[in-house]
Each structure stands twice: as structure tokens, then as C-alpha cells.
Amino acid sequence: MGIFMTWVYSGFTTGPPYKPGGNPELTQKVNPGVSWESSSFPRSVSFSVSVKSTILALGAGQTVKYDAVLTNDGNGYDDRTGVFTCPVAGTYMFVVDSLSWPGIWLKLKVNKLTVGKLHVSSGHKVDLIQISRTVIVKLKPGDHVKVENAANGGKIYHEMYSGFTGALLY
């Protein structure tokens, strides 16, 4: 049998605030018999996924579906759709990286809003280029985050050189 300690989290109060240096009026609520893992919200939300098995040849507007799930704490990422659904309100960091051929245009989208872009110009005379983009955004429960190809003919290299990562910061 575990215990569940209460906290102040994402704008709603589930317990008294902590003051550094001690707080004599602080009374810590403890609910015997309720474990952290059985609480209604995830204690951490993060995912890291990669393209593993095959080169992705994408059409315009197609969502990138990453087939190798390294972590999925909070179960927000769906590898069938390529979409992360926010389970807990807060500030999140997302990183998109891709080993791609020239001519790729990728968008990081929250719902229908583009919050970041990646591109390799077709003027490059090399075979493959590694590109990356990091974005920090505020999300609400139910918000959807995905990587979308913006133009026909985009190709993303596999063998775990390309990925999508997200984590709840606070």
C-alpha cells in the first residue's frame, strides 16, 4: 500500500504550497492507501519516437507516423496516427529532427496551427541533411500535436535518424 502526497500543479490546487526554508503552518495531506500510479493524472508526460523500419515517402498534408516508440509516459503518443494528444495542461517542449533529402518541408502543428517549420532547400547538392527544430508551447488537455509534410515528394530517412520527442516541462 503506497501513499499519495498532494501538490500544487498547473494552476489547480491539490494541496498546500511548499515554501523553501520550512513552513510551520504547512500541513501535508497524506491519503493512505492511494498510490501515485493510481492517481487520475500522469506524474510525467513524455514521448520519444523514431522512424525505424523504412524510408518515408510523404504526400502533401500527410502526418509523419513514427514506428519506433522509445518512451510514451502518459500514453499521449499514438503510433497508429502519428499524433500526440495532450493528457495534462502545461508547458511542453517538442523536438523534431529529420535526416532528409533536399526538397522536404515539415511543419510542427498544434491542432491546426503551425508552431514550427523545417526545410531542406532543393538547391543543396548533397544527398541527405540532418535538420532539427525545438518549440516550447502551452497546451490544454485534448490538444493534438503532430509533424506534417507540407509538400509532395518529401522523404524522411529511417534507421532511427529521424524522430519526434515531447515532454511536459511544468
pLDDT digits (tens, 9 = 90+) for 64-96: 999 999 999 999 999 999 999 999 999 999 999
Least confident of 76-85, 117-126, 130-139: 117-126
Cβ–Cβ < 8 Å for 8, 19: no
* pLDDT digit string, tens, across residues 6-64: 333 334 334 444 444 444 443 334 334 434 444 455 579 999 999 988 888 888 999 99
- The top-level CATH class assigned to 46-168 is mainly beta
CA distance 69 to 52: 9
Determine the average pLDDT of the residues in 90-107. 91
132: closest CA among 160, 107, 98, 168?
A: 98
Tell me the mean pLDDT in the region 102-106: 84
Q: Give the amino acid at 95.
A: V
Which residues have a Cβ under 8 Å from the Cβ of 9 and sit 6 or more positions away? 41
Mean pLDDT of 110-128: 85
Look up residue 63 and give its DSSP letter.
Answer: B
Residue extent(s) of CATH 2.60.120.40 domains in the chain? 46-168
The pLDDT value given to residue 28: 39
The CA distance from 8 to 12, in Å, is 6
